[in-house]
Amino acid sequence: MIRLDFDERDLRSLRVFCNVAEAGGFAAAEKLLHMSKASISRHVRDVEERLGVRLCERGPAGFSLTPEGEVAVKLATGALRSLERIRPEIDAVHGVLSGPLALGVVEHALGHPDCQLPQAIAMLKRRAPNVQPRIEVMTFPELNQALREHRVDMAIRGRYPGDDEFDYLPLFSESHRIYGAIRKEGKEGRATRDLPLVHRPHPYVDAVLAQGGYTRGPDAGGLEAIALLVATGDYVGLLPTHYAQLIGKRYALRARRGSPTFQHTICAVTDPNRPSTHRADLFLSILREFHARSSGMLSAA
């Protein structure tokens, strides 16, 4: 017989505690939960008393999780997400798909001419109208972390050399090159190799810097930030070619002479250590159908 250490009130308090940790404090959680700070505090205190440990520090110095709190958040979040899967999976047994489908998507994937994500999501809506897509745009490291923590069912991102941690469904190809602003070329412009390379955590950026041809420039928090700095003319940056072409006419960007070209496949990425859901399996099959159809049309052309 399965016996649970937590009752329904404990589960509610755990949900409140996880939301406080995600929001970064009691004040931020008030708006998220539509609860008073006193009520939130009471729930967190109940969890601490139930577990017999202090889960977070709160006071003038701000909010922070204790080591015990870090463990509790990770385990409780996973458990609560598993509970949320019960109803949708039971519905699936009866042929009805329901529940959320959390998708993490790499920046500016929609701008690629071979991206069929809108069509695939529209088809998902027609085939399973009770499934609700939840989409969040993230950077490459954020997508990996979200997959490991099971915050997304699937990530749409590039696959890189040595990237074997997850399962991958190939969708379309993407290339990256180093771009700079044209106005800095010529007699008064600085040589390409004199311009610092905008940095962001990314396998290709690390590869370029490791080759020694460029110095590391300022950090950027995504493609938009890289393009903004490149457009000043004082930096160069590694950008997807389809994205650089979209904004290149307005900001006069072009690929640097001698720039390496990096090419990879954008994939639907799933965690093999996480049991799949019927709705995720359906969406994978739809993605496979649409992108195979697109590849076939391109080959025929």
Residue 90 lies in a domain: no
Token output for 39:
């009520």
283 shares its domain with 218: yes
What Cα–Cα distance (Å) separates residue 159 from each residue in 5, 106, 132, 172, 287? 42, 11, 26, 11, 16
DSSP codes, 49-65: HHHTS--EE-STT--EE
CATH of residue 38: 1.10.10.10
The answer, yes or no, to whether residue 2 has pLDDT greater than 50, is no
Domain count, the chain: 2
Residue 234 lies in a domain: yes
Reduced to 3 states (helix: H, G, I; strand: E, B; else coil), residue 299 is helix
Residue type, 159: R
Buried b (16+ CB within 10 A) or exposed e, 241-253: bbbbbebbeebeb
The answer, yes or no, to whether residue 61 has pLDDT greater than 60, is yes
CATH of residue 120: 3.40.190.290
190 touches 172 (CB < 8 A) = no
158 shares its domain with 189: yes
Q: How confident is the model at residue 267 (pLDDT cuts 50, 70, 90)?
A: very high
Per-residue pLDDT, 151: 86
| Domain membership of residue 17 as a residue range | 8-84
For residue range 164-210, what is the model confidence (pLDDT) as tens digits? 899 999 999 999 999 999 865 444 345 555 899 999 988 899 999 99
77 shares its domain with 99: no
125 shares its domain with 255: yes
Q: Phi, psi at residue 180, to the nearest 5°? A: -145, 175
For residue range 3-12, what is the model confidence (pLDDT) as tens digits? 446 666 777 8
150 touches 207 (CB < 8 A) = no
Residue 3 lies in a domain: no
pTM of the complete model = 0.66
Per-residue pLDDT, 14: 83
Domain-ending residue, one of 24, 52, 84 = 84
61 shares its domain with 146: no
20 touches 55 (CB < 8 A) = no
The answer, yes or no, to whether residue 95 has pLDDT greater than 80, is no
